[in-house]
Structure 1
Amino acid sequence: MKWAVVGASTIAAEWMIPAIRSQGDEVVAILSSSESRGLDYASQHLIANAYTDLATLLAEQKPDAVYISTTNELHRDQCIQAAQAGVHVLCEKPLALNLDDAVAMVRACEDAGVVMATNHHLRHAITHQALREQIASGAVGTPSAARVFHAVSLPEHLRGWRINKADAGGGVVLDITVHNADTLAFILGEYPLSVMAMTQNTGMGEGIEDGAMSVWRFPSGLLAYTHESFATPFADTGLEVHGDQGSLVAKGVMTQQPTGDVWLRNGEGRMRLPLDHHNLYEEGVSQFRQAIFSGSHPAADGWAGVRSLAVALAVLASARSGKEEVVDYGAAAPG
């Protein structure tokens, strides 16, 4: 299968290009808004062709799929353009800056008959899959509370648009809260009804939030607390789910790396779950390819990306209003 990488990004270089090649696929082209950057990137990552215009790339290279990791305000038009060319789309989160644009992306892919997936990599972690299985099996009884700790130190080389360009989708909420929304939905099997949130600026963000805390109310009655940050260099990540028959505690799991542990605590004691870690991005690309070739459902399709964006937008709205905000899922309302 032939791929084009849309956006000469760090995540493409560190994770996605190797993941694509791990499946025996070929990256035939890179798109960058900067000709010099595109050429340098292509040379560094052994990509034969570099473009600054997506239409020309699609016409000349005729890729089977695109991976989109440009800044967030560009996703909509690039996704729709690829879909209309009959090209499958794997897009980074958040899909867009507003719900209407995200829905338009999904609709365009549906109308074109191409597969669309959101690159919510945490669904592919064995730790999160174990949490999901344990909860579904009743290991903790009825879950009533969850806590997500996704506070990190944003690496120096990523401290560009994420901390100073709101119009590009910068800020910790659109960058990290979307992951927490998708992860909780994946392991719990439900999306929040409403949220109550506060954001902060510790000095890293330039006129934009670099930290957030919020409480989410779910249809089952469960309450979840989430903490996201770009500016906590000594914190560890984690996820906990507590029920009337037990608790699941996962440490070091909100990460790109295939790492972390999951513990089950109940009346019989404390047990560490056996895990066989694998590369999250390779698994994601593999499942995306399966959806293309076999008609299976992507692990996180376009609608999953719309819903995670809706939660993040509600968090931002609550932080502005100081009130509990209902999550507006629009056309992507969970059924």
Structure 2
Amino acid sequence: MLKVAVLSFAHVHAAAYLRLLRAMPGVEVLGSDPDTGSAAPGEVRGAALAASLGVPYADTYDEAFAWGPDAVLVCSENARHRPLVERAAAQGVDVLCEKPLATTVADGEAMVAACRAAGVRLAVAHPVRFSPAYAAVKRAVAAGDTGRVLTVSGANNGHLPTRARRWFADRELAGGGALMDHTVHIADLVDDLFGARPLEVYAQTNNLLYEGETDVETSGLVTVAYDNGTVVTIDCSWSHPRSHHSWGGLEMTVVGEHATLEMDAFDQKVHGYSERDARGVELPFGVNLDERMLHAFLHGPAPDGPTVPDGESALRTLRIVTASYTSAHTGMPVPISH
């Protein structure tokens, strides 16, 4: 039996991971969420969330590690990733860390170094790599169907996430706002698609959508130039209204010399309208990207399937994010250090 501990329920994905792990054959799951100080009134965390999901619970991280996990999932606030990852490394336990890897490059580098020195795996939760739509795009690019890729335009939009977890708009705990939250998914796909080095970034942000409600940026546009000549733009905004029937989505257009490819990572849905609720509805079907990612992390990738991104690749995307903040602050393009 493979023993997996979920450390912290701060991230909104923690509950989904607990459900999936509980249902996986050959997996025994334990949850621990002692740091609930960032939770807002009405947010269900800790033992109450574990009980509602039927998952065993440890009151402290000490108890969780004493349980002897084979792997841990770190789902804490972004700024609290490092100590939990370093603790897992010190105990020789493989880690799947929520994205972004950290809020600073220094923390990210320390996490990668700690896991490398301990000989443990550090993986980062970028489930969109497991999308069938992205797999089709990657195959087409690799086969040369597009010719040389000239530009990539991506959008990772969603609603202001503070209704689910208040800390997402806490500058100290999250490291920023929409730019920190939503740039990394598309930056990770591009990292996997080309293996090219990002050279320079230019970014603009604003808080026009929720001015007066939060002091972090709620909209952003990031432009990245790569050493293979490709230019990538990323719309990373929390631009969906609260009444929107979907939490968000991820779309990407790849423009090549010979063809243009379009993908929507989360559009395996039947769309309709509810007269009773007077709003649009979506009924999802198809694969569960989180489930595929967890299976690849715990048991290895499927034949010809993707691997979970490692700490090094997540560090590259984090460098794009931190350079983007500098660019947004100065109004100038910023070179990306390596």
Cross-structure match for 2:326: 317
Contact map agreement 1:72 1:96 (CA 8 A) in 2? yes
One of 29, 32, 35 as aligned partner of 1:30: 32
> Where do 5+ consecutive residues of structure 1 fail to align?
261-275, 330-335
Distance 1:22 1:126 in 2: 23
Which aligned pairs between 1:223-262 and structure 2 lie closer than 5 A? 223-233=231-241, 237-251=250-264, 253=265, 255=266
One of 59, 64, 72 as aligned partner of 1:57: 64
Task: Call closer, same or farther: CA 1:288–1:94 in 2, change over 3 Å.
Answer: same
Contact map agreement 2:221 2:233 (CA 8 A) in 1? yes
SS in 1 for 2:198: coil
Deviations 1:76-101 (A, max 9, x none): 00100111112110000111111111
Distance 1:244 1:68 in 2: 41
Cross-structure match for 1:85: 91
Which aligned pairs between 1:133-152 and structure 2 lie closer than 5 A? 133-152=139-158
Kindly indicate which of the two structures has a greater share of residues assigned to helix: 1
One of 180, 188, 202 as aligned partner of 2:186: 180
Q: CA deviation at 1:22?
A: 4.3
Cross-structure match for 1:207: 215
Cross-structure match for 1:218: 226
Contact map agreement 1:258 1:279 (CA 8 A) in 2? no
Root mean square deviation of aligned Cα: 2.5
Count of aligned residue pairs for this structure pair: 305
Contact map agreement 1:106 1:302 (CA 8 A) in 2? yes
Distance 2:106 2:82 in 1: 10
Distance 1:236 1:100 in 2: 30
Contact map agreement 1:198 1:212 (CA 8 A) in 2? yes
The residue identity in structure 2 corresponding to 1:32 is P
Q: CA deviation at 1:188?
A: 3.0
Task: Call closer, same or farther: CA 1:63–1:42 in 2, change over 3 Å.
Answer: same
Q: CA deviation at 1:132?
A: 0.8
Runs of 4+ aligned structure 1 residues displaced above 6 Å come to none
Q: Are residue 126 (structure 1) and residue 120 (structure 2) matched?
A: no
> Where do 5+ consecutive residues of structure 2 fail to align?
38-43, 271-284
Q: Are residue 189 (structure 1) and residue 202 (structure 2) matched?
A: no
Q: CA deviation at 1:305?
A: 1.3
SS in 1 for 2:236: strand
Cross-structure match for 1:305: 314
Distance 1:308 1:156 in 2: 24
Deviations 1:84-133 (A, max 9, x none): 11211000011111111111111111222222100011111111111111
Contact map agreement 2:186 2:234 (CA 8 A) in 1? yes
Distance 1:193 1:277 in 2: 37
Distance 1:50 1:20 in 2: 16
Percent of residue pairs identical: 29
